[in-house]
Structure formats: structure tokens, C-alpha cells
Amino acid sequence: MPGTGHPRDRGAVIEVNELTKRYGPTTAVRELSFTVRPGHVTGFLGPNGAGKTTTLRMLLGLAEPTAGTATVSGHDFRRHPRGLRHVGALLDAGDVHGGRSARAHLRALARSNRIAAGRVEEVLTEVGLAGAAARRRIGGYSLGMKQRLGIATALLGDPPVLVFDEPLNGLDPEGVLWVRGLFRKLAGEGRTVFVSSHLMSEMENTADQLVVIGKGELIAAESLVAFAARGTAPTVTVRTPNAGALAAVLASEGATVAPHDEETLKVSGVSAGRVGELAHEHHFLLRELTTEHASLEAAFMELTADSVEYLAGDSR
């Protein structure tokens, strides 16, 4: 784990403990507890209305918990007179005033936290909004540009902890790739990176740790690999003219083999590497050898099926 040896990094942990938020009769978050550690990109997953945004708002002192605590490095965020150097956050790309330019918006934020104006230019360049774009009024920005501005805001104070709520919304494919690289870089520097999403497919290539919630309650907090294992086991597809013979060999290895067509087998309980080795030993010609990973999406759907708030009519 990079960065964990650094004295300041060790404390930069998000700790949510028995956190509860009620709005009248509705409970948005119920006795939620989890920990987010430095050096990783941690995905915060849940269907729409699961309580992700409410949790992040309580973490940032924007909403008062009904019960429980949400702390960063052991401190209530509200105890910091200025926040940007402690936690960088993008909660909603729309949380800006459309009448200001991106540069003016960032300069005012930087000034309030006594961050040099030069840092504004650095982050504008980093997110690709330097030059003419920085002078334009934010009201004319696309959602993708606003997301970039929000990310620039989060980076402004060079904080040890970064929180992003649905940062990939509205980004083009190039932007998505860039953001993923950025998150990994930030985590690689030893920072705590916490990213929410309602789409498992977004997290699959972004996060290595997951916190999954549904209807305000914790469903899982574990590594992506462990989470994937909850779903169906990976299957190996192998295509060979010697399908019958290979099937027998694989069965003797203890694998489960299901013939797909004359040449194709679907194998589980054994890795693609082992299938390749066995084929090589027996001089079988392989025309295809692919692993179909357990679909995280499927694992996610299975686990959250009971806690989806808003289900389209015909899926019931």
C-alpha cells in the first residue's frame, strides 16, 4: 500500500459510526458504519435514494446527523474553521453560481482558505479548463465541464482526503478515462479517495475497495475482489476441435464442464491458465480461451435487489 507509512496519512481515515439521518418519518440513513482507508480508491455504491449523498453531506458537516458520527482523521469536519486543506469534495457539479467564471469561482474559494492564486491555475490546467474556458461564465458550461470544475475545487487545497459524489456523470469517454487515472494517482500518493456511484460498471474499473449501501443500510464493505466473489463464479470459455477429449480431462481435474456447442465448452471451477496448461499437455489445439469474470453488476443487482427504492413498473 503506497503512502501508508507517512505520519500524516495514517490518520486520514474516514470513519462512519452508527450514522443515522431521519427526515420526519423517512429514515435516509440507518445505523451506518464503515471505514475508508488511505491509499485506495473506495467506491461508495448503492441504488438511487440509498442515502449516499446524505451520508457524504453529513461527513462534510452540511447536514446534521440524527445520531452517530462521521469523522475524518478522527475529527468532526465542522470543527475545522477552513475545510479545503482537510477534505476536497465534489458533491454536485451544479453547486456553483452560473454568473461567475470558473477562475473567479476558484479564486474566491482559494482566497477563503488562504490558498495562493497560483494554485487555481494549477488545478485549472490539471482538469483541462485552463485558458479561454476558465474565463467563461459557468452557466454556459456542459455537465462534463462542470464536473471538471468540481474536481478542480476538490483538488484546490491539496487535501489528504477526497470525496466525489457521482463524478463520472456527464463526462465523455476520454473524461472518464482521465478521471479514473486521476483517482488512482491520488490514491497512489497515499490519499483517501471515496467515490460514490449508482452504477457498478463505473466502479469496476475505478475502485479497489467498496462500500455498498441500500435503503440507508450497509450491505457490504470489502474489496472489489471479495465483492465479486459473492456473485456467480467466473467461467472460462474454451473453443477447441477436441472438445470431447478436453471435457474429459477437465472433469478429471474437478472442473464443471458444460458443452456449449460442438467446439465450445463453458468451464467453471478452474482457471483459464490451468485450462491452457492441460490443453498444451495433451496437444489440443485451442481456438479460443477467455475468462468471463463474475459480473460485478450481477453481484450488485443481487445484493441490492431488496433495497431498490425506485423500480420501473415492468421490472416488478
Partner 1 sequence: MTPATMAVPAARFADLLAAEWLKLRSLRSTYWALGVSALVVIAFNANAARADYADYPRYNTVMRAHFAGNALSDAFTNGAAMILILTAASVGAGTVVGEYSTGLIRTTFAAVPDRRALISAKATVVTAVITAYGAVVASVSFAVTQAILSGHGLGLSIGHPGALRVVVASALLAPVSALVGMAMGVLIRHSATTMVLTTGLLLLVPTFFTERYHWTACVRNALPFNAWGRLVQVDYGHMPYTLAHRYPSTVAGAWVVFAVWAGAAAVVAVGVVGRRDV
Given the rule CB under 8 A, which residues bind partner 1?
3, 6-9, 12, 57, 60-64, 77-87, 89, 91-92, 94-101, 104-105, 107-109, 111-114, 153, 157-160, 189-191
Residue 297 CB, nearest approach to partner 1 (Å): 31
Residue 98 CB, nearest approach to partner 1 (Å): 7
- Which neighbouring-strand residues pair with 266? 237, 258
- Which neighbouring-strand residues pair with 222? 210
What is the rounded distance in angstroms from the CA atom of residue 259 to the CA atom of residue 264? Answer: 6
Closer by beta carbon to partner 1, 144 or else 157: 157
Closer by beta carbon to partner 1, 91 or else 236: 91
Residue 289 CB, nearest approach to partner 1 (Å): 43
Q: What is the DSSP letter of 79?
A: G
Closer by beta carbon to partner 1, 135 or else 280: 135
> Grid cell 456473485 — which residue?
231
Closer by beta carbon to partner 1, 112 or else 271: 112
Residue 88 CB, nearest approach to partner 1 (Å): 9
CA distances from 231 to 130, 235, 296, 298 (A): 44, 12, 7, 7
- 308 near 212, Cβ under 8 Å? no
Query: Residue 246: which residues within 8 A CB-CB, separation 6 or more?
Result: 238, 240, 265, 275, 278, 279, 282, 284
Closer by beta carbon to partner 1, 81 or else 173: 81
Closer by beta carbon to partner 1, 46 or else 159: 159
The C-alpha cell of 102 is what? 470558473
Beta strands 41-45; 192-197: pairing state: parallel
AA identity, residue 4: T
Query: Residue 151: which residues within 8 A CB-CB, separation 6 or more?
Result: 90, 127, 164, 167, 179, 182
Q: How far is CA 201 from the centre of its chain?
A: 9
Closer by beta carbon to partner 1, 3 or else 51: 3
Residue 87 CB, nearest approach to partner 1 (Å): 8
Closer by beta carbon to partner 1, 161 or else 203: 161
What is the rounded distance in angstroms from the CA atom of residue 153 to the CA atom of residue 84? Answer: 8
Closer by beta carbon to partner 1, 108 or else 226: 108
AA identity, residue 205: N
CA neighbor of 193 nearest in space, from 180, 178, 204:
180
| CA contacts within 13 A on the Cβ side of 202 | 24
Residue 102 CB, nearest approach to partner 1 (Å): 11
Residue 203 CB, nearest approach to partner 1 (Å): 23
The C-alpha cell of 80 is what? 475545522
Residue 193 CB, nearest approach to partner 1 (Å): 11
Residue 23 CB, nearest approach to partner 1 (Å): 9
- 149 near 105, Cβ under 8 Å? yes
